[in-house]
Amino acid sequence: MRLKSKIYLYTSVLFAALLAVVCISVYVLFQRMSVEDETQRIQAEAFLIAERVAGSSAQIAPDDLLRAYVPADGMLRVVRPEGTSLSAVTNGAGDAFTAETYAYHESVTSERLSAGGSGYIRVSVPVIWSDGEVRSVQISRSIADTEGRLAVLRTVLVVVSLLALIPAILASRVLSNRIVKPISALTGTMGDIRQSGKFRQIETGQKPGDELAEMERAFNEMIALLEANFARQERFVSDASHELKTPLTIIESYANLLRRRGKERPEVFDEAVGAILSESVRMRELTERLLQSARRPEADTLEMTETNLTASVRESAAAFSGAYGRRVNVRADDVVPVTTDTAKVRQLLFILLDNARKYSEDGIEVEVSGGSGIAARIRVIDRGVGIPEAELPKVFDRFYRVDSSRTRQTGGSGLGLSLAQDIAEALGVQIGIESQVGKGTMVTLAFPTLNLPRPTSDTRSGKTGLGRRSTRTDEHKSERKERS
């Protein structure tokens, strides 16, 4: 059974059951009150008749006495202790009780009887007769009027219940439709996504705060996350196929050359092995950067600590200089305090130093300044080929290269500055670049001060304002290419 039918059936049955309980309770309560009122009225009448009959029993014949007080819709009789009685007197309505076995009651009693399809109430009242004997005066009266009113009440309750079920059933249908609507929209959207392969979000119009609106929000957030992950996956596959094709082709070509001529010609062997090794190293670096670029930005857990930026930069520069044999000159204040993720800063600095190494032959300079309420800054300066002013807005785009032939010689993949921009955004650091052709390039990292909040995404997406040629762009984040 479908959920909509279940809700419709269960709510209808539940409302019908509640309505039946209410109607039965009303009827039982009204019946009890009506019978008790009728019994009290007959008891009062029985006390009055018993007093008068006992007081006149010595002067008037018993039959005439009872006939004078017999009710119009019942029976009157006097029962002796031994179980015998004077002649029962009726007006026709109580004839069914004349043949009954006499029952003597020493105290006031009342009971409900049924005869001939009608209901009666019998009240027994003990009295002292004229001869000093205690006898029981019994009055039986019909309660047909009360039963008639109860019958009318039963009919009214049944009719009202049936009439009330109609809007209840309609309300149940409306309720089931309203509850199932966002679920139907959800399943329909999932079916459309499965058939078309395109991500979509649902809009049910639910007011914020209820569970259905929460379900809609959670589904839309999940779809947005899946769409972003799918886009990253597609971008990774596209980037990998695009960038790995060239080194694989080179490796394959030199491997074929080795197989054909490597044994006879040592110079060919040395050239091929060197090229294969060089391309293998470049493939490894490219693969690492592709994997880092394809990760979810929120997957990186930042460990923000207060640290001395100068010490961190000096350690990173020394490690880089030892690895690549390039001189890195650090000019910095003794203490530049910042609150940041030290490991991410080192990763960011290595990317910038590696970029400077590839595009300059001279030494690399690193300047660190700031502290005491002033924003800390790191400047990485090289004296290399520089970047034309028209190319500066594109250097943070994925796989962008200012000079493709030069990039092939240096082993650049076009991912370094794009990855650096992502890391800087995660740290709340503003990144900017200034460059002149033939004179070199300066990349500046501006850290927030200790007493200021981290920059918002809007702040980070703007210009860095580092000079006339300084720029930082977000326009092409979906397919960024970079100079590396």
Amino acid at 339: T
Note down the domain range covering 271: 211-294
How many domains is the chain built from?
3
3 state SS of 292: helix
Of 124, 150, 176, the residue at which a domain comes to its end is 150
User: 335 and 281 in one domain?
Assistant: no
User: 112 and 20 in one domain?
Assistant: yes
393 inside domain: yes
204 inside domain: no
User: 444 and 334 in one domain?
Assistant: yes
pLDDT at 407: 43
User: 467 and 354 in one domain?
Assistant: yes
Residue 118 and residue 147 in contact, taking contact as beta carbons nearer than 8 Å: yes
Alpha carbons 386 and 438: distance in angstroms, whole number:
5
186 inside domain: no
Give the CATH number for residue 423. 3.30.565.10
Of 81, 116, 150, the residue at which a domain comes to its end is 150
Count of all residues that appear for the chain in the document: 484
The torsion angles phi and psi of 302, rounded to 5 degrees, stand at -85, 135
User: 313 and 270 in one domain?
Assistant: no
Give the CATH number for residue 226. 1.10.287.130
User: 341 and 215 in one domain?
Assistant: no
Of 150, 173, 201, the residue at which a domain comes to its end is 150
Instruction: For the chain, 484 residues long, give each residue's pLDDT as a single digit of tens.
Output: 777 788 778 888 888 899 999 999 999 999 999 999 989 988 888 888 888 877 776 677 767 777 777 787 778 888 888 877 766 666 665 556 666 667 778 888 888 887 777 888 888 888 888 777 888 888 888 888 888 899 999 999 999 988 988 888 888 888 888 777 777 777 787 788 778 777 777 776 666 666 777 777 888 888 888 888 787 777 777 666 655 665 777 788 878 888 887 777 777 788 788 878 877 876 776 677 667 666 655 445 678 888 899 998 998 888 878 777 788 899 988 888 888 888 888 878 888 888 888 888 888 899 998 877 788 899 999 888 888 887 777 777 765 555 544 444 444 445 677 778 878 888 888 888 888 888 889 999 999 865 444 443 333 333 333 333 333 333 333 333 333 3
User: 289 and 326 in one domain?
Assistant: no
* Ordered alpha helix ranges (H), 197-308: 211-261, 266-294
pLDDT at 472: 35
141 inside domain: yes
Structure token pair of residue 239: 């980037």
Alpha carbons 294 and 207: distance in angstroms, whole number:
36
Three-class secondary structure assignment of 150-198: HHHHHHHHHHHHHHHHHHHHHHHHHHHHHHHHHHHHHHHHHHHHHHHCC
DSSP state of 413: -
368 inside domain: yes
Give the CATH number for residue 100. 3.30.450
pLDDT at 98: 61
pLDDT at 97: 63
Alpha carbons 402 and 409: distance in angstroms, whole number:
13
pLDDT at 8: 79
pLDDT at 456: 39
User: 370 and 430 in one domain?
Assistant: yes
3 state SS of 211: helix
56 inside domain: yes
309 inside domain: yes
256 inside domain: yes
User: 305 and 290 in one domain?
Assistant: no
User: 352 and 232 in one domain?
Assistant: no
User: 393 and 316 in one domain?
Assistant: yes
User: 454 and 305 in one domain?
Assistant: yes
Residue 227 makes CB contacts below 8 A (sequence gap 6+) with 199
Residue 243 and residue 399 in contact, taking contact as beta carbons nearer than 8 Å: yes
Structure token pair of residue 277: 């090794």
Residue 398 and residue 372 in contact, taking contact as beta carbons nearer than 8 Å: no
